[in-house]
Structure 1
């Protein structure tokens, strides 16, 4: 019972950690921290945090194919995913960023069909649910990206956090583009979906989550460092004198890279990639509440409607996948039972002549 509960607890903690990261990271970038700089520091602190666990607890044998798969994981799940996401978060809002992250299962399904890891099964109800859910997810993402509409009057938060209010005021004087930001977040989800597909294979051939995470974060440090230094040349951009920059970098690296990747790898290994995707809407709810309470973010009709469509589509995809998995298991069990029955019949037919001969011999005696 406890072992079955652990993946659930792990994923709840991951979503809570990501929700807090969105708020802290948004504050850091609103006060002048560059997204690429934040990503680089995130990888550095993540590598330092997870390396001791990998060294003392695992030390597995690492082959070249494992290194290559880990490199692909670092490129998609860390570099592409995080660089695009933080740029998108900088240009939009935490709620929009989290809502669009929920397109992940739909994008994962599309890629899995393209790479023939999934079948559409359009003639069955499960396949129709997956296709319909994917369509609804994409429609919700487009609505959320390109339409906002009237602001919903849900009242004002009674929490007055001066630091957040000053940061928001500073950011409002600068430029932002929620449409471009939304497109960056969608591109981030695409990179994350590719990571899920690669990580699902890697966790089977190389079940060492600490080592995998340490290697991935180390490789991503180099990749993001090259990108960051080539774009941000000024030394002042890399300064960590501001407390919010230090908190955002350390928290994102330790909690949302080192800890989260280990917990997600563990959950994928125990329950599969799709199980991990189920918990995405929890982060949306948490971020929406925190953004309203701390950052005084306004909720629009387009944001709410798009988010609801995305979550509805998400669960349609997951329902279809779950139903398909049950049907496959029933089919496999039926085939196994049929084979066992055939084996018993063969054994019985083989034994019948021997029994008959023995009875004849006994009668003649």
Structure 2
């Protein structure tokens, strides 16, 4: 019970930090930051922090031998991480942090579906818990589609936004197109995040060394993102680092997110499984809306509110199903332990007879 509370608190903190990073990233991108260079620099900074920490930790507590199949799994984890990070931040560039936090709510649905396909989660539709998780997953996907393809009228906007439709019609058309592109990229990033949790669980099952896995994966992500950045980013100025919001965003991402978040999530997946970790993703949505309106002057549309409400409903349906499932498992384990305690007494009684 104590571990569950600690893991839950850490995952909630990670979700809030994730929203802060998305908001900072959007602001830095508006100032000209390249997302390809950002992914490279933030992972390289995280690697500089993780390598000495891992070395010191494993000098005290030696880790298990790393086999080639496990190394291949970690490379797959890094490939998913690099692709997901790049798609996420490019998607935010085309849309907004608020939409990103809403679309990320699909991660539990994707994780649950893949876990069921691979047999990591049991699906018994006659049980209330499985039925709730299945219905909640469908509701989550419906809410994401609403947020992606239905915008509706603005219900809150900053005073600086111009409402003259005759003047801004071409800009609105472009904005609609960018919104759909951003939504598609964010949805793909969410699917990759779901796969990432599954691969993490696959690795932890056979190699439960979360710190070593994190540092090796970060090294692979740094190499992969370097290749992508050198190919995609042609502007020499994009590689320059100055003491501004771009540097702040890179430090925030490298120190708090890539290194700390990766460790927390890998440890949580090891202890509680991929679906449990994914369930905490939707909690950052409200924070994202508030931060987007306050700092980025985002416009809040009726479609976003309706979609977010549907996603929240789906999230709590899945969480309720997960809680019911864990309660049943806990009762079963308690009954088993009680039976085990009675068996020696029965054996002694038979011996005396």
With the length of structure 2 as denominator, give the TM-score of the two structures: 0.87
Q: Does 1:118 align with 2:121?
A: yes
Aligned to 1:143: 146
For residues 237 and 89 of structure 1, the distance between their equivalents in structure 2, rounded to whole angstroms, comes to 18
Deviation string 1:84-107 (CA, Å, 9 cap, x unpaired) is: 111111111100001110111111
For residues 86 and 174 of structure 1, the distance between their equivalents in structure 2, rounded to whole angstroms, comes to 19
Q: Does 1:129 align with 2:132?
A: yes
Alignment of 1:41-52 (within 5 A): 41-52=41-52
Comparing 95-104 and 194-203, the one that deviates more: 194-203
Contact 1:19 1:283 in 2 (8 A): yes
Contact 1:133 1:316 in 2 (8 A): yes
For residues 42 and 186 of structure 2, the distance between their equivalents in structure 1, rounded to whole angstroms, comes to 18
With the length of structure 1 as denominator, give the TM-score of the two structures: 0.84
Cα separation, partners in 2 of 1:334 and 1:3, compared to 1, 3 Å: closer
Secondary structure of 1:16's counterpart equals helix
Number of matched residues?
Answer: 338
Contact 1:35 1:87 in 2 (8 A): yes
Structure 1: unaligned runs, 5 residues or longer: 161-170, 353-365
Cα separation, partners in 2 of 1:284 and 1:47, compared to 1, 3 Å: same
Aligned to 1:363: none
Deviation string 1:237-287 (CA, Å, 9 cap, x unpaired) is: 322247222222222111110111112223333444344334323321112
For residues 174 and 53 of structure 1, the distance between their equivalents in structure 2, rounded to whole angstroms, comes to 47
Larger Rg: 1
Secondary structure of 1:152's counterpart equals strand
For residues 88 and 130 of structure 1, the distance between their equivalents in structure 2, rounded to whole angstroms, comes to 28
Q: Does 1:92 align with 2:100?
A: no
Aligned to 1:67: 71
Structure 2: unaligned runs, 5 residues or longer: 161-170
For residues 174 and 145 of structure 1, the distance between their equivalents in structure 2, rounded to whole angstroms, comes to 15
Deviation string 1:34-77 (CA, Å, 9 cap, x unpaired) is: 2222211121111112221111112524412332222122112x
Cα separation, partners in 2 of 1:173 and 1:295, compared to 1, 3 Å: farther
For residues 303 and 65 of structure 2, the distance between their equivalents in structure 1, rounded to whole angstroms, comes to 48
Contact 2:158 2:299 in 1 (8 A): no
Aligned to 1:198: 199
Q: Does 1:108 align with 2:143?
A: no
Displacement of 1:26 in angstroms is 0.6
Secondary structure of 2:154's counterpart equals coil
Comparing 28-37 and 18-27, the one that deviates more: 28-37
Comparing 17-26 and 58-67, the one that deviates more: 58-67
Aligned to 1:39: 39
For residues 278 and 320 of structure 2, the distance between their equivalents in structure 1, rounded to whole angstroms, comes to 12
Aligned to 2:335: 334
Cα separation, partners in 2 of 1:173 and 1:276, compared to 1, 3 Å: same
Aligned to 1:276: 277
How large is the Cα RMSD of the aligned pairs? 2.6
Cα separation, partners in 2 of 1:308 and 1:156, compared to 1, 3 Å: same
Comparing 4-13 and 108-117, the one that deviates more: 4-13
Cα separation, partners in 2 of 1:281 and 1:91, compared to 1, 3 Å: same
Contact 1:85 1:185 in 2 (8 A): yes
Cα separation, partners in 2 of 1:339 and 1:210, compared to 1, 3 Å: closer
Q: Does 1:324 align with 2:328?
A: no
Aligned to 2:26: 26
Contact 1:106 1:137 in 2 (8 A): yes
Displacement of 1:184 in angstroms is 1.0
Displacement of 1:137 in angstroms is 0.2
Cα separation, partners in 2 of 1:248 and 1:206, compared to 1, 3 Å: same
Secondary structure of 1:177's counterpart equals helix
